[in-house]
Amino acid sequence: MTRSSVQSRTTALIFGLAKITSREFSWVTKKISRQIFDSQQDFAVCTRCDILVSMIIVGITGTPGSGKTEFATYLTKKGFAHLSARAFLIREASKIHTDLTRERLLSVANKLRKEHSPSYVIESLFKEAQELSRTKGKNCILESIRTPGEVDYLKSESKKNQDSTFFLVAIDADREIRYKRIKARNSETDHVSLERFIEDETKEMQAKEPHEANISECIRRADHTIVNNGTIEDLHHKIELFLKRVA
């Protein structure tokens, strides 16, 4: 078995695209130096060579209501841990406000980034991801990336540390479809008119300050883009194509 074929199988195993044996489980959930599996005995015979199995981090960026959470939910079925910036901000905002509007969440996010760093929210989630990888062998999905500083941080950490590989996925859909979706999900922060929805989205799409959301720039930097104007089944199919592409 060649080195390239072993690396392909390693990634396939990580993403749940291949059947895994008990011995392979311990192999793919930890960094392993100088190890390659022979094709005999169901990949259980080892010879020596240099490879490294790394944690997979998928970051999601995209417009409101585009399907970011559904993307994350689908990957959790592949064994990924889901770390949500929205959940993180709700926890932080709840310390100050009782009425959690979208505007207040955005304000809290900007305040935290301004006080700490433009990538503060994602840095906090990334540390959680590292701990999950170390203690449970988990790959992670980070939802959602909103500032170019967060993109820079994750790509820099991925290059700097051989124990993680980062992919940024952007998800978008037509505005009318997205507004219908946020009204249907009926969360506490989604009780807004179409005019207010457009106003809030415009603020988040482009910003002059580095600590503020700039989703359009994050989308521009994505490694993979999904247009989600169809059904949930259509989205799932596109996610599978993404997984095959990175595998």
Q: How far apart are the first and last CA of the chain?
A: 17
Q: Report pTM.
A: 0.71
CA distance 83 to 132: 10
Question: How many CA atoms, within 13 angstroms, populate the side-chain half-sphere of residue 224?
Answer: 19
pLDDT tens digit at each of 247 positions of the chain: 554 454 555 555 555 555 444 444 444 444 333 333 333 333 333 333 333 456 788 999 999 999 999 999 999 999 999 998 888 888 777 887 777 677 777 778 778 888 887 788 888 888 888 888 888 888 899 988 988 989 999 998 888 877 778 899 999 999 999 999 988 887 766 678 899 899 888 888 887 777 778 999 999 999 999 999 999 999 999 999 998 887 6
- The predicted pLDDT at position 114 comes to 82
CA distance 227 to 177: 12
CA distance 18 to 4: 16
Which residue intervals of the chain are DSSP H helices? 3-14, 22-28, 68-76, 85-94, 102-115, 120-136, 148-160, 175-185, 194-205, 215-220, 232-246
Q: 36-37 and 46-47 as β-strands: parallel, antiparallel, unpaired?
A: antiparallel
- The predicted pLDDT at position 49 comes to 33
